[in-house]
């Protein structure tokens, strides 16, 4: 029973973190066709900023996470304005810019902090016990933060003026511009929100698992898989595909060993895309 409960929490935590990162990636991809291959590095750097603030500056962990989120949100604005906006419509150059930024950020972290695995301190110590089952407060906290943020982002996209503008741009960018929407301002906001969410997820996962300069590469692959599985143009579909991929990643290691468990989620993804190339809810990638 304890293993079942632990697996359920692993599913919920991984799903919420995957969705947080993938939503930020999808904002720009769906809106402007910008394939931000630096998004995984933003996730990684956010985690390391939180780590540095806590361990080197002695900042309270909650304050450190907030500062890391705000710093990377600001970085997202700079990224959109100076790295993506000049090349809007030029897919190849945007891809190369993303690759270059990814390499620069990884190299900088590697040179400053080395390749040794690091971990953020636990936000809460102790376990919640009921019967023979116990769950760490750390896992419960991470899940609750992730779930609350997903609800907040969903509300923002569906209910606010800027969120509706994002949806309009993702459906028809030229029509949105002709209707008076400032596409550049909305895309900068989307990049800021996406980068901030990625940084926050990096801090939370740095506490749940570990930090490394290359942790963003795997998360970038997860984000790509979620966006393509959901279907290009679908924001809401990412919530469903995030639960699916998080469930596969959490359950597969319980059933299978080693590399087989790592391969199972991607085998399922390939089969789904062969049967439904446009993904579950959107248009074909």
The model's pLDDT over 209-267, given as tens digits with 9 standing for 90+, comes to 889 999 999 999 999 888 888 887 677 788 888 888 888 888 888 888 777 888 887 88
Say which residues have a Cβ less than 8 Å from residue 151's Cβ, sequence separation at least 6. none
Please indicate, yes or no, if residue 51 is contained in any of the structural domains: yes
Enumerate residue ranges in the chain where pLDDT < 70.
1-2, 131-133, 233, 282-285
pLDDT for the residue numbered 192: 94
pLDDT for the residue numbered 268: 81
Please indicate, yes or no, if residue 150 is contained in any of the structural domains: yes
Please indicate, yes or no, if residue 246 is contained in any of the structural domains: no
The total domain count for the chain is 1
Spatial separation of the C-alpha atoms in residues 285 and 13, rounded to whole Å: 27
Please indicate, yes or no, if residue 260 is contained in any of the structural domains: no
Q: Is 47 helix (H, G, I), strand (E, B) or coil?
A: helix
Backbone φ, ψ for residue 3 (5° rounding):
-65, -35
Please indicate, yes or no, if residue 59 is contained in any of the structural domains: yes
C-alpha distances out from residue 62 to 16, 34, 208, 239, Å = 19, 32, 15, 26
Please indicate, yes or no, if residue 183 is contained in any of the structural domains: yes
- Write the DSSP symbol of residue 55: H
C-alpha distances out from residue 122 to 24, 45, 64, 149, 208, Å = 25, 19, 13, 20, 8
Range of the domain at 197: 2-214
Spatial separation of the C-alpha atoms in residues 42 and 78, rounded to whole Å: 12
CB 68 within 8 A of CB 53: yes
How many Å is the Cα radius of gyration of the chain? 19
C-alpha distances out from residue 119 to 72, 123, 124, Å = 19, 12, 14
Distance of CA 107 to the CA centre of its chain: 21
pLDDT for the residue numbered 283: 57
Distance of CA 12 to the CA centre of its chain: 14
In 3D space, the residue among 219, 275, 273, 277 whose CA is nearest the CA of residue 249 turns out to be 219
pLDDT for the residue numbered 103: 95
CB 192 within 8 A of CB 76: yes
Say which residues have a Cβ less than 8 Å from residue 249's Cβ, sequence separation at least 6. 14, 265
- 10 Å Cβ neighbour count for 3? 9
pLDDT for the residue numbered 41: 96
pLDDT for the residue numbered 271: 87
Please indicate, yes or no, if residue 76 is contained in any of the structural domains: yes
Please indicate, yes or no, if residue 283 is contained in any of the structural domains: no
Say which residues have a Cβ less than 8 Å from residue 86's Cβ, sequence separation at least 6. none
pTM (2 decimals)? 0.90
In 3D space, the residue among 105, 42, 30, 35 whose CA is nearest the CA of residue 77 turns out to be 42
């Amino acid at each position: 029973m304890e293993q079942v409960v632990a697996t359920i929490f692993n599913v919920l935590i991984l799903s919420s973190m995957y969705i947080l990162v993938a939503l930020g990636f999808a904002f720009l991809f769906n809106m402007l066709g910008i394939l931000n291959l630096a998004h995984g590095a933003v996730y990684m750097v956010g985690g390391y900023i939180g780590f540095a603030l806590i361990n080197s500056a002695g900042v309270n962990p909650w304050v450190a996470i907030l500062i890391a989120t705000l710093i990377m949100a600001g970085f997202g604005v700079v990224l959109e304005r100076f790295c993506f906006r000049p090349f809007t419509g030029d897919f190849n150059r945007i891809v190369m810019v993303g690759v270059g930024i990814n390499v620069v950020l990884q190299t900088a972290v590697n040179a400053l902090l080395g390749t040794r695995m690091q971990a953020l301190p636990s936000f809460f110590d102790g376990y919640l016990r009921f019967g023979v089952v116990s769950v760490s407060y750390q896992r419960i906290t991470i899940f609750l933060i992730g779930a609350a943020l997903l609800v907040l982002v969903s509300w923002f996209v569906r209910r606010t003026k800027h969120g509706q503008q994002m949806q309009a741009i993702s459906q028809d960018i030229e029509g949105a511009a002709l209707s008076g929407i400032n596409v550049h301002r909305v895309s900068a906001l989307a990049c800021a929100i996406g980068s901030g969410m990625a940084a926050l997820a990096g801090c939370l996962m740095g506490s749940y698992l570990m930090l490394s300069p290359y942790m963003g590469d795997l998360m970038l692959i997860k984000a790509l898989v979620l966006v393509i599985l959901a279907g290009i143009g679908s924001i809401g579909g990412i919530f469903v595909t995030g639960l699916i991929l998080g469930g596969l990643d959490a359950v597969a290691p319980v059933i299978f060993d080693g590399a087989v468990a790592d391969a199972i989620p991607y085998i399922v993804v390939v089969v789904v895309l062969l049967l439904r190339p446009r993904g579950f809810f959107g248009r074909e990638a």
